[in-house]
Structure 1
Amino acid sequence: MYSKEETQKLKREFWVTFAEKFPRKWLLYDTKIKDFSFKFYVDNKKAQVLIDIEPRNNDTRNAYFDKLEALKNILEEEFVADLVFERDYVLENGKTISRIWVEKLGVSVSNRQYWDEIFTFYNEKMNALELFYSEYDEFLKDIA
């Protein structure tokens, strides 16, 4: 068991190592769509690559989710299989967002032996989601 400080240091080292192995600028929050972002997540059970759709207005959130759902077959067949689509995902703080993600189970940020496996997963899946986004971003942005 790690102390809080040790855990923070380990996570910092994890992200620095990831950045060194895959030195590129990820899209993440720079989608040009307010409250629509790509994220990495890791804990001691899983690693995830996420698309979070977080507008406070439910109609806006649902419109973006509907656009992604309309592209689901293309997204899964040409870019990333095994995606989970959840229209109403409730965060720990109680906020409801829409989330689409792919995950790798059985890995741990606390165990360095999994890091390369997680890094490869992150690079492959996030790169694929970014390629998808670059191809369909105009369609996704048009919710008027």
Structure 2
Amino acid sequence: MYSKDQASQLKQAFWTAFGQYMGPVLSADSLRINWINYKTGVKHIFFKMQADSKHATIAIELSHPDIELQQLFFEQFESYKSMLHDTLGEEWDWQLHTTDDYGKTISRICAELRPVSIFQKEDWPMLISFFKPRIIALDEFWSMAKPAFEV
């Protein structure tokens, strides 16, 4: 078991290492990009990567506070489902109106890797191998689909 401070340091070390590893990789539009804090450029749409002691998740998160608008965004993503899955090379889990860790209603399209721990350095290559191709594929998808989501 790790103290809160040790856990925080290990997480920070992983994300720093991942950021350095991804640094030379350009976006689908040939731009430098902050892969860890990916900016979609559309309010209430986020690409999130998370890892803890049991699993890793990469997700498209829709967090619009108006549930009906959140559902419209979700349905809009559904209309791009085959393009998304073709770009990713796999199918992801689609969750309409679930709750996040803070009890807030969100919708997610996600993939998960289990069992893996961000606190075990020997798992880091697995985490990188999980996150890297998926965030790059999400960026490629977003470079094509983003105009449809801009209001």
Please report the TM-score for the alignment, with normalisation by the length of structure 1.
0.91
Q: CA deviation at 1:80?
A: 4.0
Unaligned runs of 5+ in 1: none
Instruction: State the match for 1:114 in structure 2.
Output: 123
Unaligned runs of 5+ in 2: 24-32
Cα distance in 2, alignment partners of residues 26 and 5 from structure 1: 25
RMSD of aligned residue pairs (Cα, Å): 1.6
Q: CA deviation at 1:98?
A: 0.7
Amino acid in structure 2 at the alignment position of 1:11 = K
Amino acid in structure 2 at the alignment position of 1:4 = K
Please report the TM-score for the alignment, with normalisation by the length of structure 2.
0.87
Q: 1:140 to 1:28 in 2, by over 3 A?
A: farther
Instruction: State the match for 2:141 in structure 1.
Output: 132
Say yes or no: does 1:103 pair with 2:108: no
Q: CA deviation at 1:130?
A: 1.0
Instruction: State the match for 2:50 in structure 1.
Output: 41
Q: 1:130 to 1:13 in 2, by over 3 A?
A: same
Q: CA deviation at 1:29?
A: 4.9
Q: 1:78 to 1:61 in 2, by over 3 A?
A: same
Cα contact 2:87–2:140 (8 A) shared by 1: no
Instruction: State the match for 1:141 in structure 2.
Output: 150
Q: 1:9-37, CA deviations, whole angstroms, 9 ceiling, x for partnerless residues?
A: 11111111111222152284522211111
Which residue among 117, 127, 132 is the counterpart of 1:123? 132
Identity over aligned pairs, percent: 27
Displaced runs of 4+ in structure 1, greater than 4 A?
Answer: none
Amino acid in structure 2 at the alignment position of 1:72 = K
Q: CA deviation at 1:93?
A: 2.1
